[in-house]
Structure 1
Amino acid sequence: MATTVYLAERIWTLDAEHPRARSLAVRDGRVLAVGSPDDVRAAAPGAREVDLGDATVVPGLVDAHAHIHGLGRSLTTVRLEKAPSVDEVVRRLAQAPASSFQGDWLLGRGWDQNEWPGGAFPGREALDARFPSTPVFLTRVDHHAAWVNGEALRRAGITRDTQDPEGGRILRDARGEPTGVLVDNAMDVVAAAMPPPTKDQLETRLRAALERCARVGLTGIHDAGMDLEAFRVLQQWDAQGTLPLRVYAMAAGQGDERHAYLEQGPWQGRMLTMRAVKFLADGALGSRGAALHEDYSDEPGQRGLLLMSPEELEARTRAFMARGFQVCIHAIGDRANTLVVDVLLRASEMTGTQALRHRVEHAQILRREDITRLGAAKLVASVQPTHATSDMPWAETRLGHERLRGAYAWRSLKDAGANLALGSDFPIENPDVLAGLYAARTRQDATGRPEGGWRSEEALTGHEALEGFTLGPAWASFEEARRGRLAPGQDADFVALSVDPVEGAARGLVDARVLATVVAGVEVFRESP
């Protein structure tokens, strides 16, 4: 029951009645008082004091769309981000640490052919030359394509006669032989041949991810499609009181594990919640798996992939809605977004679950009429600001100019009435929430390009960006009465930053530091002096 008073240069409370303060008191995991130092000291006599100097304190920052196990795997296997060539990928793989192996399979992630000369998908030849008998499985930066070698194909039984699975593509050369690149559901054919991680591996990955999240200023994560084994580990940690951050978990709705989640139903712990399910309607833009109404501008005849039939998507949606789950559906392409808005509106009306705050995950490329429909229905638009700044060098090549009018359209979605919840989709993007705040305000990369921002009419203000990582996720997870603001009675989740993310220059966010991360009144990270 000890009380702590925090002092700072400024505190953004996001409480409409008292938007700014300089001090807050914390007791028993809740905010006791907020206001001037004198007023807060009077409300908490004899309390321990922590002076944060010229820091700015904001309510707890929450990533509304992320993958904890995926981040842990990326931190402990070969990292291929920004590799400029196939040769560099092979060089990094040759230096792989022991943690990069799952069984005898070598794992890596983060390659992006858009970074390479020519921008073409790779083939398996370079992997076969260096790893002739070790199966290699490398996920693309968007996690919607994998690059594997011949040994991995052999173990999975994939040959030139293997048919593309529904919702997937096995890329082939001129002779019809698999090249080693698998898109969307085709990845699962090879992944099924891979041994699962050990319990120790899984726990190591989850701990690494949660520690990283605390260091970058996250007090909570919405995990977009949690596998059952990871959920059981977090359940155990939550029961033991050792789960450091709040986790709002969406059940993985693609595979057979969905039956276990349906049987269990929504679940609530102390720091862990499971009351949502995540489905995938389509793939990703970078691997040309996003489902479009019209052909890709840079690949005539290709319109992407629906990862399950519209009938199956609606059937699963209704089943989980009827069980009391919030339904969250990944939709990147405009065709997928049309389908997802259709399904959510129709299914929620039939099941009477409009109050479950159903969500469109990514809401990335939409026709203008679907932006209007999404907003009018007050659906959650769970969007990722750094996706726009990562994709902007090549998005128009994929889509053409006209379709960009409804792409990464955060301002349009907000003005239409959608509830914005901002995230990163880590490990596809960096979990650094400050980079998300910067991208939301500027629509520029870290070097300040392009001047004025990319399609700057869709940018958010500093205040709106902060709300998107605080109030937005709180509402999207039914916790607005307890989180998202700093007011008496609210959970004591907050972050101390070296800059003011609201009124300070946006450019300052690029080099800003997280000074402290506090969850339920406990400091889970504090910058070393």
Structure 2
Amino acid sequence: MAPPSTTPNNGTAYINGKVYTVNEKQPWAEAFIASQDGYFITIGSTAEIEAQARQQKLTVYDLRGHFVMPGIHDAHVHLLMSALADSSQIRMPPELTPSNVAEELKKGKCLCKYGHANQDWLVGHSYMVENFSLEALDKDFPDTPVVIRAGAGHSAYLNSEALRRSGYNIESEPDAQGATYFRDDQGRLTGEMAENAMSKVMTTLPQSNLAHVKRVLMSGIKRLHQAGVTSCQEASANTIMLQGLRELEREGKLSIDIQTHIVYAPDWIGEERAETLHKTLDEAKTYASKHVDTRFVKIILDGVPLAPYHTHAALNSDGKVDESKLLTLNVHEAVRKYDERGMTMKIHCTGHGSTRLALDAFEAARKHNPKGPKHEIAHCSGVHDDEYPKFKALNVTAEMSPAFFFVHPITQASGGLMDWNFPKMLAADAQISIGSDWGAGASPDLLPDVAKVVDIVGGGDRNLGGEKLCRMLTLAGAEAVGREKELGSIEVGKKANFIAVDKDLSQGDFEGASVLTTWFEGEIVYEKS
């Protein structure tokens, strides 16, 4: 009779690898052993591990000389939003015109009756709609509410039915803080809007039922595995997502470590009313589990430096924050409140003004609570020269995202409004993590995007850039969420989360690199066919 599967001889020995551990004390190895419960228990040479495997009668896995490293930590994803968009809603061309919008909506990839993605609502996703025409959309969809999300998730286009159902006054909707409404010559809403103007529609939009939420979460996690991601930070967690994750955990189906930044404000990014989001924040611990860490909060402080909106909060000539662009006004109070609870704040900032305001809020919290948690600035695409030293001084992580914008025509044409300045962050000795911002028009595949900044990060030294980026993609992310003792490197006692790649990323060879296999807690969760 075979011994139980919980005994030590049920571990697996991995040999013949080119293993980059991201552990400064032992940066390279050839082989290791993962225990039956998914932890690294021995790391060494192939000869050493083979000998131990023979002695303990372990299963042996040949890595065939492939480059192996810890699993990737994606510091910024919108898992539920992305998975719903990919599986249940309509993915449209990057730029739409009135002449083809209806055609594209009708051939959408949906699960529900008549192609309606959210009950009887049609939801589409595009980068931008050129010369949007409310009349054209109303002609084709007079009774069906239609919402097209765009502008990296910061704008939307609605037809008249969607405006009516959401409670907008088409004739005379009042302006509001941080809300951008587009109007015709008579002051009527045109259906195009941005930032806080989306609050009514996004909190009215019907949510999927819990069974479907679980289904798409599983699909999204599989997509992350394809990108080599074994740990991530969800940047817009809401109540139904946490309920779905809790049920999946109880069913033993979660194969990712996920840190959930529960939305504080604005409510439209959480697609849920503020009062229920705040209640969920108060009850965050009840949703925590082995793979779900709920000690995190999300605030969007300003918009995006993208035309035609330019909703980022800049600095005025007197060095003051342009408060007209702020989407959340009570950031100091919110930071202090959750800092006292030991919760990490991720604050979206894209302008010099918003970044300064967020750092000021962190500084005030640190004076009040010197031993409080590490916090984060999300995006870091607009940082004034005076602010770079504050990241290290205040123990704030510079979360650089979306990676697909690091080197991009839009970035280069922004006149300096979009600047992910790795050299200045590194010179300030700031801790840097990297996120895809999957859900804002991006994909979770980080390797092609970071390939564009290898030389920049290494100061012209490609090998140095590769080593630094590998750390940013793994251990730095684990440090940002306070889990560096469990995740982020191949070390004895840590989780056996690792990937095999067809190129040596430590040498900066990211261009064209492909994830071959992803392991989570010692089990294969993805293999390239």
Please give the TM-score of this superposition, normalised by the length of structure 1.
0.87
Instruction: Give the 5 Å matches for 1:62-461.
Output: 62-76=73-87, 77-83=89-95, 85-99=97-111, 100-112=116-128, 122-158=132-168, 159-254=170-265, 255-266=274-285, 268-286=288-306, 287-294=309-316, 305-309=325-329, 312-354=330-372, 356-384=373-401, 386-389=403-406, 392-395=408-411, 397-398=413-414, 400-401=415-416, 407-428=419-440, 429-441=442-454, 461=465
**CA distance in 2 between partners of 1:168 and 1:367 (Å):** 25
**CA distance in 1 between partners of 2:412 and 2:25 (Å):** 44
**CA distance in 2 between partners of 1:373 and 1:242 (Å):** 41
Secondary structure (helix, strand or coil) at the match of 1:523 reads: strand
Deviation at 1:88, TM superposition (A): 4.2
The 8 Å contact of residues 471 and 480 in structure 1, kept in 2 or not, is answered as yes
**CA distance in 1 between partners of 2:33 and 2:107 (Å):** 49
**CA distance in 1 between partners of 2:462 and 2:120 (Å):** 47
The 8 Å contact of residues 291 and 333 in structure 1, kept in 2 or not, is answered as yes
- Identify the residue that residue 116 of structure 1 maps to in structure 2: none
- Identify the residue that residue 269 of structure 2 maps to in structure 1: none
Secondary structure (helix, strand or coil) at the match of 2:505 reads: coil
- Identify the residue that residue 11 of structure 1 maps to in structure 2: 19
Secondary structure (helix, strand or coil) at the match of 1:15 reads: coil
- Decide which moves more: 513-522 or 191-200: 191-200
Cα deviation 1:273-297 (Å, max 9, x = unaligned): 11111111111222422112259xx
Distance 1:395-1:174 versus aligned 2 partners, 3 A rule = farther
Distance 1:457-1:417 versus aligned 2 partners, 3 A rule = same
The 8 Å contact of residues 3 and 44 in structure 1, kept in 2 or not, is answered as no
**CA distance in 1 between partners of 2:426 and 2:395 (Å):** 10
Distance 1:48-1:204 versus aligned 2 partners, 3 A rule = same
Write the letter of the residue equivalent to 2:132. Answer: P
The alignment status of 1:494 with 2:514, answered yes or no, reads no
Cα deviation 1:316-367 (Å, max 9, x = unaligned): 221111222112211111111011111111123223344x111111111111
Cα deviation 1:74-131 (Å, max 9, x = unaligned): 2121112534645444332121244352011001113235xxxxxx663423322322
**CA distance in 2 between partners of 1:481 and 1:313 (Å):** 31
Deviation at 1:176, TM superposition (A): 1.8
The alignment status of 1:30 with 2:39, answered yes or no, reads yes
The 8 Å contact of residues 385 and 436 in structure 1, kept in 2 or not, is answered as no
> CA-atom RMSD, angstroms?
2.5
The 8 Å contact of residues 71 and 231 in structure 2, kept in 1 or not, is answered as yes
The 8 Å contact of residues 442 and 506 in structure 1, kept in 2 or not, is answered as no
Deviation at 1:49, TM superposition (A): 1.5
The 8 Å contact of residues 75 and 208 in structure 1, kept in 2 or not, is answered as no
Deviation at 1:459, TM superposition (A): 12
- Identify the residue that residue 270 of structure 2 maps to in structure 1: none
The 8 Å contact of residues 53 and 60 in structure 2, kept in 1 or not, is answered as no
What is the aligned length? 495
The alignment status of 1:485 with 2:489, answered yes or no, reads yes
Write the letter of the residue equivalent to 1:380. Answer: T
Q: How much identity, in percent, do the aligned residues show?
A: 24
**CA distance in 1 between partners of 2:463 and 2:123 (Å):** 37
Distance 1:316-1:112 versus aligned 2 partners, 3 A rule = same
- Identify the residue that residue 523 of structure 2 maps to in structure 1: 522
**CA distance in 1 between partners of 2:59 and 2:324 (Å):** 58
Deviation at 1:266, TM superposition (A): 4.2
**CA distance in 2 between partners of 1:438 and 1:525 (Å):** 22
**CA distance in 1 between partners of 2:200 and 2:410 (Å):** 29
Work out which of the residue numbers 445, 462, 469 in structure 1 matches 2:466: 462
The 8 Å contact of residues 265 and 325 in structure 1, kept in 2 or not, is answered as no
Distance 1:83-1:457 versus aligned 2 partners, 3 A rule = farther
**CA distance in 2 between partners of 1:227 and 1:315 (Å):** 21
- Identify the residue that residue 117 of structure 1 maps to in structure 2: none
Deviation at 1:270, TM superposition (A): 0.9
The 8 Å contact of residues 125 and 149 in structure 2, kept in 1 or not, is answered as yes
Secondary structure (helix, strand or coil) at the match of 1:44 reads: helix
Write the letter of the residue equivalent to 2:50. Answer: R
Please give the TM-score of this superposition, normalised by the length of structure 2.
0.87
- Identify the residue that residue 447 of structure 1 maps to in structure 2: none
Deviation at 1:215, TM superposition (A): 1.7
Secondary structure (helix, strand or coil) at the match of 2:136 reads: helix
Deviation at 1:148, TM superposition (A): 1.2
Deviation at 1:412, TM superposition (A): 1.1
